[in-house]
Structure 1
Amino acid sequence: MNTIYKVISVVVICFTIFSCKQKETKAEEQGNTVVNEQPNIVLFLVDDMGWQDTSVPFWTEKTPFNERYITPNMERLAREGMKFTQAYATSVCSPTRVSLMTGMNAARHRVTNWTLKKDMLQPMEANHKKLKFPRWNVNGMSPTPDIENAVYVTPLPKLLQDAGYFTIHTGKAHFGAIGTPAEDPKNIGFDVNIAGHAAGAPESYLGIENFGNGKKGKEVWAVPGLEKYHGKDIFLTEALTKEAILAVDSAVVAKKPFFLYMAHYAVHTPLYADNRFEKKYLDAGLDPKEAKYASMVEGMDKSLGDIMDYLEKNNLDENTVILFMSDNGGLSVHARGGEPNTHNKPLNSGKGSAYEGGIREPMLVKWPNKVKPNTVTDKQVIIEDFYPTILDLAGVENYNAVQKIDGLSFKDVLKGESVKNTDRALFWHYPNEWGPSGPGIGASSTIRKGDWKLIYYHLDSRFELFNIAEDIGETTNLARSEKERLKALAEELGSYLRSVDAQMPSNKETDKQVPWPDAEIVINQIK
């Protein structure tokens, strides 16, 4: 009997080694090395969600907005994981999504504004009265090198797919313009694409409106691939969640680790009431537009809870990493109820702005048995850091990417270990026009280093300097009183922009390029 057990043990061990070797060999054939057991990874990305659009406080104190919104599952995720109080994206969507999928800063990948139509600048850029904007990568990202006006890259999901992951895209894509490869997430490494295409917003959130399908002249915005829900009383957020869980079921049956990119269209405009949640906000006397918005936030939170419940019910939670993030600051300049540019307070402004309200995001990470529950970090991270971090979490090493990676892994932060590059600078570059006018909105370049943040506006070569630790609302411009600090930051910003071959707009009157932030003519005007 003992002999039989020994034989069985040897067979099992040999089979296990053989299986691991098979996985490692496949990855090595793709130029990657996979180490250790691969966890499942859920990347939960919300569209246009502000730093304050949650009952989870990301500041030193609770605010009225934290009291307004009802997000119990974000609270649950925060209790079970780590809260990042200084997490950053870009101020508009496509640059963030391309940075996420490539590990590149927007200044380098040049997808610096939101994409849609192939080879076309946005109308507000073409018609700007004073600035002529560069030919940025209007076609987004591309997995092949033959697409003009696009950045050629090795996408994150492709590397995960090559490493043995079942890769699932759900919701908003917005990676490439209409008619380009990245319009379809399957072309950048996703095994499954649920409802993702070139557009960055839905025509409708309602199943009874077929999510916008059938509306003449609105075809570009109609959400694709959800025909089974057409005519039904279901909100888009719920439909996407149901389909995502079905896709994860397929991965579980196939016995493969999965990467679920849960990229909700919510809470992007158009504002629609999620009838499951709206009434309580109206009953509380909230502005009708804000009640719609709050209902969309709560519906998003329910989706997070449904996915967490699914993982627990199927005993997947202990080997699943969940990362929660937003793609830019909360919309505040238009379409909302109440006073514009106040919806992210204490942060200044909102989406489209270089101020904190446009770029600082709610971020949470749960990594069972690795991240200490209910912890908080003030370490600064930026959206391109997700690329190397997720590969790190997946155990993918020595990967071959055609692009230069700007992001740094924050795996050590998650594990509570000492962190390198504590004096690291963060950079934003937006040589573009978003459209609406508001605080901090417009073509600009920005650096944050330590507690200090410098914004350089391209239109009039003007600076704003803030100490974020002491002035989170960016109310006091210290450009004149801290000239030497301004000069040092301007030099670092200018050097960085030139090092990545960043684009700059030009002045229509003079036909000359806007000066770099460290140009002598710019620095000397500070008195």
Structure 2
Amino acid sequence: MGEGVDHLRLRANKKLWPLAQEQSKAMTATLEHAPSMVKQLQDNGYATLQTGKWWEGDPLDHGFDEGFGHGIGRKTMEPIHNFVDQAQKNEQPFFIWYAVFLPHTPHNAPDRLYLKYKDLAPDESTARYWANVAWLDETCGQLVDYLKEKNLYDNTLFVFTADNGWRPDPNKVSWYVRSKKEPVEAGIRTPIFLTHKNKIVPRRDKETLASNIDIAPTILQACGIKPDKAMSGLDLRKPEVLAKRDRIFVDVYWDNIRVDALGDLDSDLIARVVIDGWDKLIARPDGLELYDLKNDPDDRTDLAEQNHEKVEELSALMNDWLEETPIIFPHALQR
């Protein structure tokens, strides 16, 4: 296929839908052979439910017993209630993937929520975003309340995370500035919460390096399951282990990727990032940026020209990381 062939363009043309489906399978083919937290849970007797956002093909092919679409949370919580009831009936432990489209756009929370923030926020865009956050919080509360009603709350581990940050565009509702799809802190530094009554002591840590790659090993170990050896993440319940981590790595890609370049790690790349202590290097295709997060937590002052030695040091760490983590299952891309 020629230059500019991307999956959104394929999906937008009904005549190309068969090709879009074929390319979608190619995009997720590597997952068939990758280690899977969900499959490990399923293999160990857990009932598994997928709800909301899921871009990896048919969830039933990836360890889920059931799946429910984008209406979860915004329209109903009933599929989760029914799933929990059935798991209880079967005397099964369960895993719920609750990926509600909140506070994701459209920022159209009910007026009862929007009006709470209308006069508090600096602009309408921010008020509507805050209202969507409140809507998310409300649905999480509904899930917690249901589990408490069923006497399941105390024995349930809750993990909350987000796939990107968001700063509302003050001039456009449901849009953002310098956050989503950007390697800046407002885009990649997102919260991870863990709650497990009587098992996790409440605390807040704003300095220890953590990553979403830690979530799967944490859940598996909490369930008494040994994570696949290919999972390099750490157990988030153990601060003393996390404290020994020196650095984390991030890559940021365009969401509308070229389907004819799936085997090229540099195709559609926005940037790669390494954070080593308080030093942060952003490697974009057109240049390198260096930041001191201790004194510049919003990464606004580029120090690359002032500290070439540190840039070279962090660049070497990034290159080593890329060599250690190549495409793991290239054969799946050649089907």
After TM superposition, is the score higher than 0.5? Answer: yes
Gaps of 5+ in 1: 1-118, 124-136, 176-182, 196-222, 227-235, 342-348, 436-440, 504-527
Residue 428 of structure 1 corresponds to 250
Match of 2:78 among 231, 235, 242: 242
Q: Is the 8 A contact 2:52 2:101 kept in 1?
A: yes
Quick check: 1:355–1:474 contact (8 Å CA) kept in 2?
yes
- Match of 2:200, SS state, is coil
Instruction: Note the C-alpha offset of 1:407.
Output: 2.1
Tell me the distance in 2 between the aligned counterparts of 1:275 and 1:238: 14
Distance 2:168 2:115 in 1: 23
- Matched residue type, 1:266: L
Alpha-carbon distance change, 306 to 268 in structure 1, aligned in 2, over 3 angstroms: same
Alpha carbons of 1:188 and 1:293: their partners in 2 closer, same or farther (altered >3 Å)?
same
1:260-303 deviation per Cα after TM superposition (whole angstroms, max 9, x unaligned): 11111112222223234122233557634433322221111011
Letter in 2 for 1:264: V
Could you tell me how far apart the structure 2 residues matched to 1:157 and 1:433 are?
A: 24
Q: 1:482 aligns with which of 283, 289, 307?
A: 307
Residue 387 of structure 1, aligned match among 216, 225, 229: 216
1:191 equivalent among 65, 76, 79: 65
Find the aligned partners of 1:278 and 1:255 in 2 and give their Cα distance: 41
Q: How far apart are residue 330 of structure 1 and its match?
A: 1.4
Q: Which residue of 2 aligns with 1:312?
A: 148
Q: Which amino acid aligns with 1:156?
A: M
Structure 2 match to 1:58: none
The Cα offsets for residues 121-153 of structure 1, whole Å up to 9 and x where unpaired, read as 556xxxxxxxxxxxxx964765xxxx4x76632
1:421, CA displacement in angstroms?
Answer: 6.6
Partners of 1:339 and 1:301 lie apart in 2 by: 21
Higher helix proportion: 2
Query: Could you say if the C-alpha distance between residues 157 and 296 of structure 1 is closer, same or farther in structure 2, counting changes exceeding 3 Å?
Result: same
Deviations 1:403-461 (A, max 9, x none): x3232222312xxxx226724321122465769xxxxx972211111111001111x2x
- Aligned residues, how many? 302
Which stretch shifts more, 366-375 or 464-473? 366-375
- Asked if the contact 1:274–1:292 (Cα under 8 Å) also holds between the matched residues in 2, the reply is no
Deviations 1:310-362 (A, max 9, x none): 22222212111111111111154698449952xxxxxxx21000001111112
Distance change in 2, residues 1:139/1:373 (3 Å): same
Name which of 456, 459, 475 aligns with 2:283: 456
> Is the 2:108–2:128 Cα contact (8 Å) retained in structure 1?
yes
Q: Which of 266, 270, 294 is equivalent to 2:130?
A: 294
Contact 1:157 1:189 in 2 (8 A): yes
Amino acid at match of 1:479: A
Larger relative contact order (Cα-Cα within 8 Å, sequence gap ≥ 6): 1
The equivalent residue for 1:163 is 44
Counterpart of 2:311 in structure 1: which amino acid?
A: L
Query: Aligned partners of 1:384, 1:173: CA distance in 2, in Å?
Result: 17
The within-5 A match list for 1:345-384 is 349-376=178-205, 378-384=207-213
Q: State the distance in 2 between where 1:302 and 1:475 align.
A: 34
Cα deviation digits, residues 55-96 of structure 1 (max 9, x gap): xxxxxxxxxxxxxxxxxxxxxxxxxxxxxxxxxxxxxxxxxx
> For residue 315 of structure 1, what is the amino acid of its counterpart?
N
| Alpha-carbon contact 1:166-1:257 (below 8 Å) kept | yes
SS in 2 for 1:306: helix
